[in-house]
Amino acid sequence: MKIPDKLYFKIGEVSKISGLPAYVLRFWENEFACIRPKRTSAGQRLYRKNDVEMVLKIRHLLHEKKFTIQGAKQHLSSQKTGTAGDTPTKLLTELKTELESIRDLLQS
């Protein structure tokens, strides 16, 4: 299902978009740090579009790819630290370059 173009979604809307019950969404909030809906003053959850996209990604990993929750967490954290094409050497080179530019800024 296509995600509507709006800023915030209530839990019922996310439930409808993802095909998941609201209690699963609430459980996933506790399990996955990447899902952090805002709260209204009344305590109602407001999901942003990137939260909804993450819910759909997690649903895909757990339901279609048959990952465990722990496996999905590891997969998501490995994607966050770098893309599959990034080698440790490439990441270290980029880090070194960035640190050198910071050093040069501080010296000037």
CA-CA distance, 104 to 84, in Å (whole number)? Answer: 31
Task: Using alpha carbons only, give the angle 8, 60, 34 rounded to the nearest 5 degrees.
Answer: 50
How many C-beta atoms surround the C-beta of residue 46 within 10 A?
A: 16
The band of 1, judged by pLDDT with boundaries at 50, 70 and 90, is low
State which amino acid sits at residue 18: S
Q: Is 3 part of any domain?
A: no
* Number of domains forming the structure of the chain: 1
pLDDT at 85: 55
Q: Which helix (H) or strand (E) holds 51?
A: helix 49-59
Q: pLDDT value at position 86?
A: 58
Cα–Cα dist 48/68, whole Å = 25
User: The pTM is what?
Assistant: 0.71
Domain holding 98, by residue range, is 8-107
2 lies in some domain: no
pLDDT score for 79: 78
Residue 63: pLDDT band (50, 70, 90) is very high
- What is the overall mean pLDDT for the chain? 88
Q: Work out whether strand 45-48 and strand 8-10 pair parallel, antiparallel, or are unpaired.
A: antiparallel
